[in-house]
Structure 1
Amino acid sequence: MFMGNGEDEILLPNKYIPENLEEGDALEVFIYRDSEDRLIATTLQPKLELYEFGLLTVKSVSKFGAFLDWGLEKDLLVPFSEQNHPLEEGESVVVGLVPDVETDRLIGTCKVGQYLEYDRIPFAPGDEVECLIYERSDLGYNAIIDNHYRGLFYYNEVFQPLTIGTKVKAFIKQVRVDKSIDLSLQPQGYYQSVDINTEKILKKLEEQNGFLALNDSSDPAVIYATLEMSKKAFKKAIGALYRERIIRLEEDGIYRN
């Protein structure tokens, strides 16, 4: 079946044509070039669209590069020139879907940083955003914000497991003068108080040989007398330490791992 206005017709292979489809019916399709450079339409839903980023799995490696599963019959090529390291079969990697400047075909790239926006930053501290973790750096986890911008989660401010390819809701912590963006997994104001209180708890654990006779049921007055913090702040801090597996919580109290 050919789709179009008669001037720019695009082939929709018979296997993708729904039953009872008639001439003039509207149909949502994805268009890409096949191996012979023909424009082909498909009703299959790709895992990525143009200039989107996501986690894909390598299906095979050839002399042209790595081929990734992106939901269509024709696998997505990531040429060697677009790889940060040699990709291997079975590996999962964050890639962007971009046009190849020479062939106009869609390809994948692991060098996602060059396709992000660094100048016109539309965020303010406290804004909620969606992030995709795409690499680890010396400072923390680099993330793609709302599919357009790059931000950073600092290691010492992350109190839950993060892995490459993870999508998380996050908050803008600050936009620096150089337009770099600091991110947090909690609303503004959380980390400053939690960091101070976790340090207090860890210091007290060290002073008392790795054990504190406190838990969620402890009297607020006892918590304050021991740590000089409210019960609410105490619960946030031990929750953060527990998620990092720095402590374990038992019925009789807190133990340092």
Structure 2
Amino acid sequence: MNLGKTQILKIAEKNYSGLFLEDEAGERAFLPKIFASEDAEIGDEMEVFVYQDDDKLKATTEKPLAEIGEYAVMTCVQSLPSGAFMDWGIIKDLFVPYKQQRAKIVEAKRYLVHVYIDEFLGLITGTTRFKKNPSYENLPFEKGEKVNLIIAGESELGWNVVINKKYIGLIYTSDVYKKLFPLSEETGFIKSIREDGKIDVTLQPEGYDNIDEFQKIILDKLEVNYGLIYLSDKSTPEEIKDELQMSKKNFKKAIGGLYRDKKIEILEDKIRLLEDGE
């Protein structure tokens, strides 16, 4: 039985209160009646998430916010001296022991939580005391790959982020072109995987292959600004960042392409949208 994971199990037994589901090794988990279909039959297969409740294995068709080895933003539903219970997205709350809290967890507030199995107790547990910017091996990413991010928090070098719910990476301050907020979700791109196994991420795609995206941002801005943007290749990186949320490098590539395609005119202190036929 893969504890803390979503998996396919077979119905082995039915009774008035629910179903007993079984894996290939014969280990069982109980699925309460509220999650069972009325037409379920012995031998049918079901996709369920398996967790512990009172030292027993139980199953649910609900989807947890995070499985074992994953991170998610969770809200505290109860805080006690011994630890905190977090809304995990399923019928049972996730327990974060007091010693696994980076700072004391407060009820009704949201936190980034990592889900793991306590090696001594064998219980599914949560923690907010995870390592920032760790090293990895055999990462399943390629440079430039699009990924989902959770903004973890600001650091001396930039912003720590969670990549695809499983990995910690870093966005350098120089690659941040918009306002970021802790625990918010963003789309990012793998910038590099360093020799030490650390992951660098950027909020924007790099290279000429992605320049169409930046050109569209500029054209959309020109449309809503009556055909004018008071930026040029002489503008500072800060001015471009504030107006378009992109780097000066990508801005210059984009306007260069738009100029060659005769879609804009580049003036000393602004760019102007050209009408068809100009």
Tell whether the structures are fold-level matches, with TM greater than 0.5.
Answer: yes
Partner residue in 2 for 1:151: 169
Asked whether the 8 Å contact 1:54–1:95 carries over to 2, the reply is: yes
Counterpart contact for 1:118–1:150, Cα < 8 Å: no
Distance 2:177 2:58 in 1: 46
Aligned counterpart, 2:221: none
1:18 matched to which residue of 2?
A: 37
Percent identical = 32
1:79 Cα deviation (Å)?
A: 0.8
Specify whether residues 122 and 17 from structure 1 end up closer, same or farther in structure 2 by C-alpha distance, changes over 3 A only.
closer
Superposition deviation, residue 88 in structure 1 = 0.5
CA contact (8 A) 1:58 1:90 kept: yes
**Alignment-derived partner of residue 106 in structure 1:** 124
CA deviation after TM superposition for structure 1 residue 140, in Å: 1.5
Inter-partner Cα distance in structure 1 for 2:108 and 2:200: 32
Gaps of 5+ in 1: 191-214, 245-252
Which has the larger share of strand?
2
1:30 aligns with 2:49: yes
* Structure 2 residues without counterparts, runs of 5 or longer: 1-18, 209-224, 246-268, 271-278
CA distances 1:198-229 after superposition (whole Å, capped 9, x unpaired): xxxxxxxxxxxxxxxxx77349xx96xxx555
1:140-179 alignment, distance < 5 Å = 140-179=158-197
Cα distance, 1:95 vs. partner?
0.9
The reply to whether residue 79 of structure 1 matches residue 97 of structure 2 is yes
- CA RMSD in angstroms, aligned pairs only: 3.3
Given candidates 111, 115, 134, the residue that maps to 1:97 is: 115
When residues 176 and 48 of structure 1 are mapped into structure 2, their CA distance, relative to the original with a 3 A threshold, is closer
Given that residues 117 and 148 in structure 1 are in contact (C-alpha distance below 8 angstroms), is that contact kept between their aligned partners in structure 2?
A: no
Matched residues in 2 for 1:183 and 1:216: separation? 35
- Measured in 2, the distance between the counterparts of 1:143 and 1:170 equals 10
- Asked if the contact 1:76/1:108 (under 8 Å) is kept, the reply is yes
The aligned runs of 1:25-64 (5 Å cut-off) are 25-34=44-53, 36-64=54-82
Deviation at 1:184, TM superposition (A): 1.3
Residues 16-41 of structure 1: CA deviation (Å, up to 9, x unaligned) = 2222222222222111110x201111
Q: What is aligned with 1:217?
A: 227
CA contact (8 A) 2:135 2:197 kept: no
